[in-house]
Amino acid sequence: MQKGLLVLLLFLTTCLNAQDIDVQHYTFRLELSDSGSAIRGNATVEFKALHNLTSVTLDLTGRNGATGMEVTGIYQAERNDKRLSFSNVNDQLIISLADTIKKGATEKLTIAYWGLPDDGLIIAKNKFGERTFFADNWPNRAHHWIPCVDRPDDKASFEFFVTAPSHYSVISNGEKVEEKELGRGRKLTHWKVNIALPTKVMVIGVARFAVKTFDDSPPNLPVSAWVYPQDSTKGFYDYALATEILRFFSGYIAPFPYNKLANVQSTTIFGGMENASCIFYDEHSVTGNRDSEDLLAHEIAHQWFGDMASEKSFAHLWLSEGFATYFTDLYFEKKYGQEAVVARLKKERGEAVEFARHSASPVVDSTANLMSLLNANSYQKGAWVLHMLRNEVGDSLFQQIIRSYYQQYKGGNADTRDFEAVAEKVSGKDLSSFFAQWLYRPGIPQLAVTKYNVRGALVVQVTQKQKALYTFPIEILVEGENGKKQRYRELVATAKSSFQYRPGFAVKKVTIDPDCKLLYAAY
């Protein structure tokens, strides 16, 4: 996800209901209308019991005045559709079962409901004044319009049956199974996903679209643009970059994990949202100038990291956002060269440093204010951690770490310790101090550098100004006349570290970190 100007300053709490069930599959049937903003839904939730259960708790926002969802009936499909009793309080739908479900058994519940979503499904007008419906679930906002277990570590396959006015097209994750006219100006569209995904990326988009599948799509993997008809020429041109980006990541990480990639112009609160196989971009990303290449790269990188390999909890959001940010840098490095990526890294370093001046939070942050995690710790500092890890282990081992981590956790969930374990196994290095200081400790090293001569030798002193000391390698470039240069690599581990050199030429300039490999603030 990329942060947009319209990010809501919401204080959302993590859904912490106990994991009593493991959802296997969702079937959502939705009816949308132009006569109002209320929706009618029917959701079947197939799950496995993790304990002996007499009740089941799902996440669903109840009615609160004019908005929210009103449940009209719940049925236990495997019990002859017996109607069940329930309560819907504080966004929790608590369902009393007809009989005890034994641990390990599977069951299906069907929930009929209707209402006006107060969030999660954004029903609005686009910039051309036309009505649109776009799901916008991140981080845990899916329960505002669909009953679910709204947390990133309970992944499930799913399908949407959407009935809407015929003048709309419907896009969703996965494969389009069916589209048929129902008569009286209504159309049914059925999309299905056979891969387990978190609720944060289960979406529908309903609008008038112009659609183009790009001719340079990889074999059996259609890459398409879904844009508002008024923007079709610009949008098709802008979003055509997606095929090149997808090919790069497929080669660097692993084959693309889904059966399509739809790039969708949308009306939501974020600059971009990485919905699996169906990315939603802010409607203003279409300009005809291809000036959103980094946005496309960021969201496409999420298809591997954040969607397929997901964080266990939002405290480890950097495994999603930091990865997407750094893989965008890798793409720019490959396409535009070292100078371009250094410029990006310097900008990201500045943003991380500025955030650290005003924040006492580490990258791994268990705050309940999930929207506040859309910050430079999760994005820019997370990217810099990967950049420093790459420089610590080397390019080849870094790529092996990334590939091994993805292969181990694709289709599942991981936390920072899981990634650390993979990095240590692949590299053969003890990286515990590296991860501890950069990810679990707030702040960034504040360095003051002085240089002076002592008996004909050059002395470079690096002083750490912050209270908690870091240990890190630093490169020092010494330059003289006529292009003479000498490069040194040192380890800084104390409050004041002094290094003495006799380069053999008159020194004109001393530069620390000349190749932009260290996250620090110049003091």
Q: Write down all domains in the chain, each with its CATH number in brackets.
A: 21-208 (2.60.40.1730), 311-439 (1.10.390.10), 446-522 (2.60.40)
Residue 424 sits at φ, ψ, to 5 deg, of -70, -40
Place of tokens 């056979």: 194
**Cβ-proximal residues to 289 (8 Å cutoff; 6+ apart), any chain:** 238
Are the C-beta atoms of 454 and 461 separated by less than 8 Å?
Answer: no
Q: Which helix (H) or strand (E) holds 45?
A: strand 39-49
What gap in Å lies between CA 184 and CA 135, rounded to an integer? 26
pLDDT at 497: 98
**Cβ-proximal residues to 251 (8 Å cutoff; 6+ apart), any chain:** none
Burial of 125 (0-12, 13-18, 19+ CB in 10 A): exposed
What gap in Å lies between CA 224 and CA 237, rounded to an integer? 11
What gap in Å lies between CA 515 and CA 519, rounded to an integer? 12
Burial of 347 (0-12, 13-18, 19+ CB in 10 A): exposed
Pair of tokens at residue 511: 């530069």
pLDDT at 10: 35
pLDDT at 6: 35
Q: Round the CA-based radius of gyration of the chain to a whole number and report it.
A: 26
Residues in the chain, total? 523
Residue 443 sits at φ, ψ, to 5 deg, of 95, 180
Give 243's Cβ-side CA count (13 Å radius): 17
Pair of tokens at residue 337: 């060269």
Are the C-beta atoms of 18 and 149 separated by less than 8 Å?
Answer: no
Q: Is 270 helix (H, G, I), strand (E, B) or coil?
A: coil
pLDDT at 1: 78
Q: What is the distance in angstroms between the CA of the first residue and the CA of the last residue of the chain?
A: 32
Give 206's Cβ-side CA count (13 Å radius): 29
Give 167's Cβ-side CA count (13 Å radius): 8
Interior CA angle at 33 toward 29 and 37, to 5°?
100
Distance of CA 484 to CAs 5, 73, 489, Å? 48, 80, 17
Place of tokens 């799902």: 58
What gap in Å lies between CA 220 and CA 224, rounded to an integer? 13
Torsion of CA 181, 183, 185, 189, to 10 degrees: -30
pLDDT at 169: 98
Pair of tokens at residue 300: 């496409």
Distance of CA 281 to CAs 3, 94, 207, 223, Å? 11, 35, 14, 15
pLDDT at 82: 77
Are the C-beta atoms of 472 and 492 separated by less than 8 Å?
Answer: yes
Interior CA angle at 190 toward 240 and 36, to 5°?
95
pLDDT at 290: 98
What gap in Å lies between CA 153 and CA 312, rounded to an integer? 5
pLDDT at 17: 47
Q: What DSSP line would sit under 403-440, residue for residue?
A: HHHHHHHTTSEE-HHHHHHHHHHHH-S--HHHHHHHHS
pLDDT at 9: 33
- Ranges of the chain whose pLDDT falls below 50: 4-17
**Cα 142 from chain centre:** 15
pLDDT at 77: 74
Q: Is 337 helix (H, G, I), strand (E, B) or coil?
A: coil
**Cα 302 from chain centre:** 5
pLDDT at 246: 98
| DSSP symbol at 374 | S
Q: Is 385 helix (H, G, I), strand (E, B) or coil?
A: helix
Give 389's Cβ-side CA count (13 Å radius): 33
pLDDT at 18: 55
pLDDT at 11: 34
Q: What is the pairing mode between strands 261-266 and 223-227?
A: parallel
